[in-house]
A and B are shown apart, each in its own frame.
Chain A
Amino acid sequence: MKTVTDLSVNIAGVTLKNPVMTASGTFGSGMEYSEFVDLNHLGAVVTKGVSNVPWEGNPTPRIAEVYGGMLNAIGLQNPGVDVFIERDLAFLEQFDARVIVNVCGRSIQDYLDVVDRLGDEKRVDLLEINVSCPNVKEGAIAFGTRADSLYDITNRIKKIAKQPVIMKLTPNVTSIPEMAKAAEAAGADGISLINTITGMKIDVERQRFILANKTGGLSGPAIHPVAVRMVYEASHAVNIPVIGMGGISCWQDAVEMMLAGASAVAVGAANFHNPYATQEILDGMTDYCRRHQVTAIRDLTGGVDD
């Protein structure tokens, strides 16, 4: 008899129909990719970072390809929370997928403004707090590289948030377990990792930086082993759910991430290479579960023989 796998997973009390979501910043608010993928099939759509007011982002060039990946320095360009609610959230209303809104800010108050504004939006299932973008001069990563700052911002957001709060961590730290524990101690309902790894690329002929911002965040298959290691470490350090991301480009990568300790996975740069990536990864994971007679996909979480 064929195994019918229960694909649902639970993140901080919110049930997702399956563990495949999109990584913030790679999928807009879903509109652009809805031509390729039925958003109803996704566990969750994670939106691009939303700030209290419109952000212009960085000058161009913002993108550089590197071996096995890419650098980006978008700088969190976004139209601000008001347009986000009116346009993007309204668009997502028609789909049966969980909505996770990624929140960014320059100051703690900026974050609190957005979290407060989203509080009564029923369509928002979870908040993902971006304390890990390496491409803005103020805020974001500045809150995510020291355990005491991470504790402080998490704590203050938790006091006013009406939705469960996931803290998105940066890999650009000495100790991932320490940061994961700080987020958990401050009341975070989950953590997601990894954001991009800070990198740089120089055009040797012109002897100039490729990116206008000089540095950018490295994503793509090149960072996948780093992400697997960090998800493994983080999931051993805390009891809250871990959402794993970083270079997932095929179902094997996604399964690997769950075996390392992730409760759900997010697909990022792979969407650029293959706009159907999320669906194909979900199909591959489903097939894997059948072959391995996994009755509930959540049983894969932390399942590596340790």
Chain B
Amino acid sequence: MKTKQTLRVRSQKEIADGIFDLRLQYTDRDRIPDNVLPGQFVNVYPRDASALLPRPISICGFERQEGILRLVYRRVGKGTAEFSRLAEGDFLDVLGILGNGYDPAVLAGRNVLLIGGGIGAPPLLGLAKRLAAQERQEGKGSVTSVLGYRTDDLFLKEEFEACGRVIAATDDGTAGFHGNVVSAAAAVFPAGGSIDAVCACGPLPMLRGVKQLARKLRATCYVSLEERMACGVGACLGCVTRTTGTDEHSHVRNARVCTEGPVFNAEEVEL
């Protein structure tokens, strides 16, 4: 069940230049979502009435018991600038839980490579945590995270490290691998066999590279896509992506990023 609710800001911190870590508290215990999959998102509404549309922001973490939703986002425009000024005790309208996420069950016990470019890393953190927990439980599988940054402002890196091996890559070479995440991942995993699945989130050119890399590694590849959205619930057909086959809902080669996605099997979409 999707709902629009007013959540209370529990805390907010700028964890890197222009990157904000926002923790929201559900105020109505009866309306805390039952389950959130990594890769799912929420629509967040600016109070500024001149901004009509909600901002879709992926979920970085969710604690069912405490009723806390964690969003890590980049300040890019007037909507996110407004959110970035929120402090403890403020309120925010949130619609969720939206979209189709990564399915930790199908990845259980497998060797999984996570690739996050910039603000594409936060939605993978929840997945890394789930996979690490499954790995401990089943005694098999592994999580390797390749995280790309502009500079040595390596946000969330420590949290990923708690889940498995982390390879950082920076555009300017100030930390870790000098170059992009695809080159970094290819350097560590030069051939097929060792990785079963790749899960990636980041800009489109990066995802294209990841899809090629996953083919070389003979690994199943899941990508999280971004597109300009209006409704966020599948009604307006604003946020479609080109699919390789006819989509079941649209009956044309377009699937809704907000509903069938944002996470797709990379072989089912044209990047």
Chain A residues within 8 Å of B, Cβ to Cβ? 25-28, 32-33, 35-36, 48, 54-57, 60-65, 67-70, 72, 74, 77, 79-80, 83, 220-221, 269, 271-276
Known: A83-B251, A220-B52. A77 touches B1 (CB 8 A): no
CA gap between A33 and B234 in the complex, in Å: 9
Q: Is the CB of A33 within 8 A of B235?
A: yes
CA gap between A62 and B4 in the complex, in Å: 24
A-B residue pairs in contact (CB < 8 Å), sample of 8:
A62-B237, A62-B238, A68-B50, A70-B52, A72-B236, A74-B238, A221-B52, A273-B45
Residue from the set B1, B52, B54, B227 with the largest chain A CB neighbour count within 10 Å: B52
Q: Is the CB of B239 within 8 A of A26?
A: no
Min CB gap B209→A, angstroms: 20
B contact residues around A79 at 8 Å (CB): 249-252
Which 5 pairs from chain A and chain B are nearest by CB?
A79-B251, A28-B235, A63-B238, A32-B235, A63-B228
Min CB gap A20→B, angstroms: 17
Min CB gap B121→A, angstroms: 24
Q: Is the CB of A68 within 8 A of B52?
A: yes
Known: A68-B52, A274-B4. A77 touches B252 (CB 8 A): yes
Q: Is the CB of B238 within 8 A of A72?
A: yes
Q: Is the CB of A35 within 8 A of B2?
A: yes
Q: How many residues of B contact A (CB 8 A)?
A: 34
State the main secondary structure of chain B at its contact with A. Answer: loop
Q: Mark B38-65, 1 if CB is under 8 A from A, else 0.
A: 0000000100011111100000000000
CA gap between A169 and B33 in the complex, in Å: 42
| B240 lies within 8 A of chain A by Cβ | yes
Residue from the set B3, B95, B254 with the largest chain A CB neighbour count within 10 Å: B254
The contact of A77 among B53, B229, B234, B250, by CB within 8 Å, is B250
| B119 lies within 8 A of chain A by Cβ | no
Q: Across the two chains, which residue of chain B brings its CB closest to A269?
A: B52
Q: Is the CB of A56 within 8 A of B253?
A: yes
Min CB gap A73→B, angstroms: 9
Q: Is the CB of A60 within 8 A of B251?
A: no
Q: Is the CB of A271 within 8 A of B50?
A: no
Min CB gap A276→B, angstroms: 7
Min CB gap A80→B, angstroms: 7
Q: Is the CB of B235 within 8 A of A26?
A: yes
Min CB gap B4→A, angstroms: 6
Q: Is the CB of A61 within 8 A of B228?
A: yes
A contact residues around B229 at 8 Å (CB): 63
Residue from the set B1, B234, B238 with the largest chain A CB neighbour count within 10 Å: B238
Q: Is the CB of A62 within 8 A of B228?
A: yes
Q: Is the CB of B227 within 8 A of A70?
A: no
The contact of A60 among B3, B95, B241, by CB within 8 Å, is B241
Q: Is the CB of A273 within 8 A of B235?
A: no
Q: Is the CB of B228 within 8 A of A275?
A: no
CA gap between A65 and B2 in the complex, in Å: 23
Known: A77-B250, A77-B252, A77-B254. A65 touches B51 (CB 8 A): yes
